[in-house]
Amino acid sequence: MSVPVERYLSARAGLVEGALDRLFPPNRTRLREAIRYSLLAGGKRIRPVLVLAAGEVAGGQTRALMPWACALEMVHTYSLVHDDLPAMDDDDLRRGRPTSHRVYGDGLAILVGDALLTEAFRVIATPRGVLPARGLRAVAELAAAAGEAGMVGGQALDLASEGARATLARVRGIHRLKTGALLCASVRVGAIVAGAGEGLLKRLTTYGRHLGLAFQIADDILDDVGGAGADGQTDRELGKVTYPGALGMAGALRAARRERDAARAALRPLGGSADALRGIVDFVVERAGHAVEGGAGGPRRAAGAPCA
């Protein structure tokens, strides 16, 4: 890669930002205002950038990949808006500002999520420059990762496990679905749309699964260290199953780094074309490393198996 990874990632995130803005221009309705409020609130854009980076490894063009990148971010944002609702986590802050339901009320926040999920599938149902068979496979992939066998199923398990003993098996099972499925699907969707062969898809899927776990371990660490939570309590204090709860803080950081190394190992034969994917997993894990150290540095499945 000729430009540093950080510059690549922020440039791609900027492109995604512009594309999302164009998909939802202001139209003077309260619903559109509320959609823009959550969607254009400056998240890290990890999922759409994964779509682009994985697709580019497989020889895809940014322009053709962009609707898919936007769809992943729209599904992710819907999940955050719904997760913040009083019936779920009841959070006051998201992406550094008041949550959707605090500003617009519970009813409109529910509709923002509904609209983003539905529109995500509209955006990818009319793609340009993508072979229909690839497009259909990628649509099914996203639906599976977001639905009952993926993110929604993981959220249901998480709700049911509040106050339960934090065993490692329970933590892994929840996070593989709740967070990991959509992250891994971001990688697979990009690769499928770009026409990756099964060998490359298998490699990228292994990367995506380890990235998903690394992400959630890092997120648990950041939550525990930062004391996040609507009422000032961490997830662990709220009785949620977390990696630091199961492994201790140092053990959780070691586990995140093991997942990062496994994700990187899957990319080894791909050379410089996979530098962006390496940069993303490093970024995800080292945010947690910085938080803990103050400045220091799943079972195998078949190649074609989806992420959930």
Kindly list the residues in this chain that would bind ligand GRG in the complex (CB under 6 A).
43-44, 46, 76, 79-80, 82-83, 88, 95, 151-152, 155, 178-179, 219
CB of 201 to ligand GRG, least distance (A): 23
CB nearer to ligand GRG: give 15 or 80. 80
Q: How many residues does the chain have?
A: 308
Smallest gap from Cβ 269 to ligand GRG, in A, equals: 28
Residue nearest to ligand GRG (CB): 43
Instruction: Compare residues 44 and 258 and give the one whose CB is closer to ligand GRG.
Output: 44
Distances (CA, A) of 92 to 43, 86, 100: 16, 9, 9
- Nearest approach, Cβ of 240 to ligand GRG (angstroms)? 10
Give the residue among 79, 50, 15, 13 at the shortest CA–CA distance from 212.
Answer: 50
**Closer residue to ligand GRG (CB): 127 or 279:** 279
Q: How many angstroms separate the Cα of 12 from the Cα of each of 44, 57, 187?
A: 11, 14, 15
Smallest gap from residue 46 Cβ to ligand GRG (A): 5
The answer to whether 53 touches 277, Cβ cutoff 8 Å, is yes
Distance CA 113, CA 74 (A): 9
Q: Closest approach of Cβ 155 to ligand GRG, in Å?
A: 4
Q: From CA 308, how far away is CA 306, in angstroms rounded?
A: 6
25 or 96: CB nearest ligand GRG: 96
Distance CA 308, CA 182 (A): 8
User: In the complex with ligand GRG, which residue's Cβ is closer, 146 or 192?
Assistant: 146
Q: Which helix (H) or strand (E) element contains residue 29? A: none
